[in-house]
Amino acid sequence: MSRTMKAAVFEGNGVFGVKEVPVPAPAVKEVLVKIEAGSICGSDLHVLSVPPGQYAKPGTVLGHEFLGRIEELGSEVSTVKKGDRVIIEPIVPCGMCDACRRNLTNLCENPSILGQTVDGGFAEYCVAPEEYLHPVAEEIPAKIAALAEPIACVMHGMMELNPQPYERVVLYGAGAIGLIFYNMLKSYGVRHLAVCETMDSRIEDAKRCGVDFIINPMQEDVGAVLKERWGGGPDVGIDAVGAGAVFEQLVGLMNKGGRILIFGQNNTQTSTVYPSQINTKQLKIFGTMAVYHSIPAAIEMMNGLEDQLAKIVTHELPLDQFEDGIRLLREKKALKVVIYP
Ligand SMILES: [Zn+2]
Ligand SMILES: [Zn+2]
């Protein structure tokens, strides 16, 4: 008789729940991971909304931001061993599509995505391919290590943008991603850093996380505030919101030679910009998606930032209360929710 476990399963059309499912068995090049913790992502909310903002296959166990301990090895696994504590990289590219062949594996047209197209981490166990496991030190608390994937997405953006300590940076959005960016920018040594946020609860979260320069673009003229404080505009602008108005504002605000990173994603948004501002100011515009060889960097960056990153996790719940975690995030009462099976 096969063993069963608890898992948060997506049933389709916004329906989901925690139920008993069989414990999976690893294929030859896979491992069975006993899950320690997972965190709920904005994309989980997109999957669970009606109509869905992101696709997931009905019947799939949710969760793509998680870590655990290897409990069983497939017969051909050679680089990890039982008992290893690992973070699981959730997007497994096909290796054969046009994007993969051009080394843009993060943009694979036909990926397996843990938690969306194959079973993910809001469960007691999960199987994962050997080559998508990343060791993580025992000293890193589970609730921090559970953030490895979003931190790695942010690090992908940081690696493209390459902000320097002497540059002025304006960051739009003080949600979980915005506050991860804030911590990474601070560790890069950025001294002049402004955070723009319109939502009261998030302004409070930003203050709680130590942000000392917050501008509410609904109430203040961002350009005027920056000019008064810094004597000029930003060299680097980051959109961690995904709103068309943010891109519009950034193009107008940027210093000559400035760089903009579009990170937040919302497929319904449009923007009206003056293209001439892009060439007359010689702006560089970057877009980054998902994790791109950035999980080791994320794991490295966690070291020494545990206390700061811990403030982003506002709720820790058992798997049985997964639905409460989703509700808290939908109602914007939580910033980041970590789930323990
Ligand atoms: Zn995520
Ligand atoms: Zn591919």
* pLDDT: which is higher, 1 or 32: 32
Q: Output the CA 110–ligand 2 centroid distance in Å.
A: 5
* pLDDT: which is higher, 1 or 274: 274
What is the average pLDDT across 82-87?
A: 98
CATH number of 4-147+312-340: 3.90.180.10
Chain-centroid distance, C-alpha 239? 14
Q: Output the CA 152–ligand 1 centroid distance in Å.
A: 10
Residues 15, 9: Cα–Cα separation, whole Å: 9
Look up tokens 């999957």; give the residue: 47
Q: Output the CA 291–ligand 1 centroid distance in Å.
A: 9
Look up tokens 């060299």; give the residue: 235
Residues 51, 47: Cα–Cα separation, whole Å: 9
Chain segment 18-41, per-residue pLDDT in tens: 999 999 999 999 999 999 999 999
The ligand placed nearest to the CA atom of residue 46 is 1
Q: Contact, 62 vs 46, CB < 8 A?
A: no
Q: Which residues of the chain does CATH 3.90.180.10 include? A: 4-147+312-340
CATH class of 152-287: alpha beta
**At residue 1, does pLDDT exceed 60?**
no
Q: Contact, 102 vs 2, CB < 8 A?
A: no
- The confidence score (pLDDT) of residue 268 equals 84
Q: Output the CA 101–ligand 2 centroid distance in Å.
A: 7
In this structure, what DSSP letter does residue 300 have?
H
- The confidence score (pLDDT) of residue 265 equals 86
Q: Output the CA 115–ligand 2 centroid distance in Å.
A: 18
Q: Output the CA 13–ligand 2 centroid distance in Å.
A: 27
Q: Output the CA 266–ligand 1 centroid distance in Å.
A: 14
Q: How far is CA 271 from CA 148, 205, 242, 329, in A?
A: 31, 28, 11, 27
Query: Measured at the alpha carbon of residue 150, what is the angle toward residues 58 and 145, in degrees to the nearest 5?
Result: 100
Q: Output the CA 86–ligand 2 centroid distance in Å.
A: 24
What is the average pLDDT across 114-128?
A: 97
Based on its alpha-carbon atoms, the radius of gyration of the chain, rounded to whole angstroms, reads 20
Query: Which residues are bridge partners to 215 per DSSP?
Result: 196
Provide CB contacts within 8 A for 274, sequence distance 6+: 251, 252
The ligand placed nearest to the CA atom of residue 177 is 1
Q: Output the CA 44–ligand 1 centroid distance in Å.
A: 8
What is the number of helices (H) and of strands (E) in the chain? 12, 17
Chain segment 49-59, per-residue pLDDT in tens: 998 888 999 99
The ligand placed nearest to the CA atom of residue 176 is 1
Identity of the residue numbered 126: C
Residues 289, 160: Cα–Cα separation, whole Å: 11
Q: Which residues of the chain does CATH 3.40.50.720 include? A: 152-287
